[in-house]
Amino acid sequence: MIIVYVIDSYGEFSNGTTITAKRSKEYLEKLGHTVRIVSISKDSNKDFYTLEERNIPVVSYFAKKQNMHFAKPNKTLYKQAFKDADLVHLFLPYKSSRQAIKVAKKMNIPVTAAFHMQPEHITYGMGLDRFGKPLSWFIYKWLNFRFYKNVTHIHCPSEFIRNQLTKRNYKNVFHVISNGVTDQYFINPKREENPEIINILSIGRYSKEKRQDTLLKAVNESKYKDRIKITLAGRGPRDKKLRKLAKKYNLNVDFVFLTQEELIKTISESHLYVHPAEAEIEGISALEAIASGLVPIVAESKYSATSQFTLTKESLYKVRDYKELKNRIEYFIENPNRRLELEDLYRENIKKYEIKHSMLLMQELFKEAILDSKRKKSAKSRQGKKIKKKIINNKIKRFFSLILYYGIAIPIFIPYFYLIRGLRIKGKKNLKKPKKGAIIISNHVHKLDVAMGGITIFPKKPMFTSIPENLNNPFYGFLVRGLGATPIPVTPLENKVFMLKLKEQLIKGKYVHFFPEGKLITKAERLSDFKRGAFVLSEESKTPIIPIRINFIPKKRFSYPFFFKEKIVVNVGEPIYPNIHLAKRESITDLQEKSFETMKHLKIK
């Protein structure tokens, strides 16, 4: 593939975004891809395209203090850089990227984007702290309106930021992929059990949201203060304030900005790693430190993702609570055996965040976006438009479908199943857990199990999938079509349009209903093998599978319901999410197997 990175400032490698871009470029090139860079950075390499720097009054002044720069869009340069490209990937939601989307779409080139700019970084940088919550909410909404709604596939470095975007109603496919730890950090140093001097490392930009002051206060309160040496690796606008605080407390602190070699050496000589940040999208510096087995103590904050890397409560403390942090530090000093025991566990756990693995997942993200782009072209063909009409009805048909569903079908079937068939639903609360759309799968054991699925999901109206024969049946086909059922694809073109359109509906928050067994076996006790369609769709849309099982329970003699030999119980299982650490094919298989096993255990005896 030829991939084009659009990033305002590529040459300044003191912040996580540019370091991520540089590393990912190098690893993607090792995989055989060509990566072009469009940035204000100057480089003689033929794959670099240089933009002019953009000066924004007041904003640029403060941004430069954070080593941030803005690029001026250049359509002519974009066309040169995008020529013959397979995909354009955008790192930041600034004007240069917004213009890049327009040029790429005119050239029919798929576009992906990353979410690296956490709004809380802006509000904390303004000194608003937690009072900046309304402004950060507005920034999230503004970024979606101005930028992210125009891109389908979004790279999220952590589940935390994925959840933040989902809460704020972003309608995208979120690919949770760590920025990744390079091989150099996976070292196994021999750390002393009871060192005379305890080296505590903390890595991060000197800014308010990183909360290095909490660490300084904690060590000042510690009874082991004279034995502790702190290394604050980074630089930033709060340098003078932190130095002044360290001097006031008479602490042994090194304020340094380290090269990669120096940082690795410092990590190997440290005994504890403290990450006190209050706002953090991922915290790659923490991952790099932990990769060596260095035991972390991480601030638990609702604005930070880094606590996800901890394995025990001993490694957590409440953000800003320097007294609790002091207790955690003293615990590990007084229990060196526990610290050494955890080192091996942390070193092993971080292996799933290796950059090699992350870049394979990024490669799949890019391939997925290219595949969707091809599907969109197929859907715009004459035959594709005909197929699309069968999958997604026009507004008039959707209106009458709603009337038929809520006005006729539901009022008939709910009394019938509840009052006559003794229907009971267990675990319905599980249907409320997904924040976006979901795929409902059910065993196929009754001619009216579609109706039972609809009652289970009510008040939502799911999109039902059905074999084409049901829609074309001369007796009841009109009813199936009227209720808005979607025909399962038969031809390759139908499959392309089917996957594209259902994925769009899932992203919008719709529920899609499948019978993964494919065929109806009335009142079957055992499950048939599942087909892969529902699980492919789940993995591609990054939405969960919710399994439901219809059970027929023999009733006692002369008990309710009076006219039938059994009552019906529908059991709803917990949502099953695609595994973010697995490649696409493996993730689909994992979903399929977990769903099958879960549905087996939903059987009520």
Q: Find the CATH number of the domain harbouring 504.
A: 3.40.1130.10
**Would you call 540 helix, strand, or coil by DSSP?**
helix
Residue 273: φ, ψ to 5°: -120, 130
Do 344 and 367 share a domain, yes or no? no
pLDDT value for 392: 80
Q: What distances in angstroms separate CA 176 from CA 23, 159, 317, 362, 396, one per listed residue?
A: 18, 6, 25, 10, 38
Question: What would the mean pLDDT of 111-120 be, rounded to a whole number?
Answer: 94
Whether 5 contacts 25, CB under 8 Å = yes
Do 143 and 232 share a domain, yes or no? no
pLDDT value for 355: 94
pLDDT value for 102: 96
Q: H/E/C letters for each residue in 263-329?
A: HHHHHHHCCEEEECCCEECCCHHHHHHHCCCCCEEEEECCEECHHHHCCCHHHEEECCCHHHHHHHH
Whether 575 contacts 432, CB under 8 Å = no
Helix axes 382-391, 492-507, angle to 10 degrees: 50
Q: Tell me the pLDDT band of 605, cut-offs 50, 70 and 90.
A: low
- pLDDT digit string (tens) for 498-546? 999 999 999 999 999 999 998 889 989 899 999 999 999 999 999 999 9
In a domain, 69, yes or no: yes
- pLDDT digit string (tens) for 300-349? 999 999 999 999 999 999 999 999 999 999 999 999 999 999 999 999 99
Do 309 and 261 share a domain, yes or no? yes
DSSP string computed for 374-409: HHHHHHTSHHHHHHHHHHS--HHHHHHHHHHIIIII
pLDDT value for 389: 85
Question: What would the mean pLDDT of 458-468 be, rounded to a whole number?
Answer: 88
Q: Given 338, 371, 404, which residue is the final one in a domain?
A: 371
Amino acid of residue 26 = E
**Higher-scoring residue by pLDDT: 166, 483:** 166
Helix axes 533-541, 584-600, angle to 10 degrees: 120
pLDDT value for 486: 86
Do 164 and 234 share a domain, yes or no? no
Taking the C-alpha atoms of residue 564 and residue 418, their distance in angstroms, rounded to an integer, is 13
Alpha helices in 211-259 (DSSP H): 212-221, 239-249
pLDDT value for 484: 75
Domain limits for position 231: 183-351
Q: Given 371, 399, 424, which residue is the final one in a domain?
A: 371
Q: Which two tokens stand for residue 113?
A: 């984007």
Does residue 224 have a pLDDT over 90?
Answer: yes
Question: What would the mean pLDDT of 168-181 be, rounded to a whole number?
Answer: 94
Does residue 447 have a pLDDT over 80?
Answer: yes
Question: What would the mean pLDDT of 450-469 be, rounded to a whole number?
Answer: 89
In a domain, 278, yes or no: yes
Q: H/E/C letters for each residue in 18-75?
A: HHHHHHHHHHHHHCCCEEEEEECCCCCCCCEEECCEECCCCHHHHHHHCCCCEECCCH
Q: Given 341, 371, 401, which residue is the final one in a domain?
A: 371
Amino acid of residue 602 = L
Amino acid of residue 5 = Y
**Higher-scoring residue by pLDDT: 435, 600:** 600
Do 286 and 306 share a domain, yes or no? yes
In a domain, 605, yes or no: no
Do 175 and 282 share a domain, yes or no? no
Q: Tell me the pLDDT band of 602, cut-offs 50, 70 and 90.
A: very high
Q: Which two tokens stand for residue 559?
A: 């008990």
In a domain, 75, yes or no: yes
Does residue 376 have a pLDDT over 90?
Answer: yes
Question: What would the mean pLDDT of 468-477 be, rounded to a whole number?
Answer: 76
Does residue 442 have a pLDDT over 60?
Answer: yes
Does residue 13 have a pLDDT over 60?
Answer: no
pLDDT value for 179: 93
Question: What would the mean pLDDT of 230-236 be, rounded to a whole number?
Answer: 93
Amino acid of residue 39 = S
In a domain, 456, yes or no: yes
Q: Tell me the pLDDT band of 66, cut-offs 50, 70 and 90.
A: low
pLDDT value for 57: 80
Q: Which of 157-171, 321-335, 346-360, 482-496 has the lowest mean pLDDT?
A: 482-496
Give the helix/strand (H/E) hosting 122: helix 119-125
Q: Which two tokens stand for residue 29?
A: 């090139």
Do 405 and 521 share a domain, yes or no? yes
Q: Which two tokens stand for residue 96?
A: 């240069």
CATH of the domain at 281: 3.40.50.2000
Q: Tell me the pLDDT band of 14, cut-offs 50, 70 and 90.
A: low
pLDDT value for 158: 94
Taking the C-alpha atoms of residue 57 and residue 68, their distance in angstroms, rounded to an integer, is 14
Q: Tell me the pLDDT band of 232, cut-offs 50, 70 and 90.
A: very high
Taking the C-alpha atoms of residue 316 and residue 304, their distance in angstroms, rounded to an integer, is 12
According to DSSP, the β-strands at 566-572 and 545-554 are antiparallel
Do 345 and 420 share a domain, yes or no? no
Do 138 and 187 share a domain, yes or no? no
Chain mean pLDDT for the chain: 91
Do 360 and 432 share a domain, yes or no? no
pLDDT value for 116: 92
Alpha helices in 380-522 (DSSP H): 382-391, 395-404, 410-415, 449-457, 468-472, 477-482, 492-507
Q: Tell me the pLDDT band of 292, cut-offs 50, 70 and 90.
A: very high
Question: What would the mean pLDDT of 10-39 be, rounded to a whole number?
Answer: 87
**Higher-scoring residue by pLDDT: 389, 541:** 541
Q: Which two tokens stand for residue 420?
A: 């006559």
Do 193 and 318 share a domain, yes or no? yes
Does residue 391 have a pLDDT over 90?
Answer: no
- pLDDT digit string (tens) for 492-511? 999 999 999 999 999 999 99
Question: What would the mean pLDDT of 589-604 be, rounded to a whole number?
Answer: 94
Q: What distances in angstroms separate CA 317 from CA 78, 273, 369, 371, 388, one per listed residue?
A: 47, 13, 40, 44, 53
pLDDT value for 398: 83
Do 403 and 286 share a domain, yes or no? no
In a domain, 377, yes or no: no
In a domain, 150, yes or no: yes
Structural domains of the chain, count: 3
In a domain, 231, yes or no: yes
pLDDT value for 604: 79
Whether 364 contacts 372, CB under 8 Å = no
pLDDT value for 374: 94
pLDDT value for 472: 78
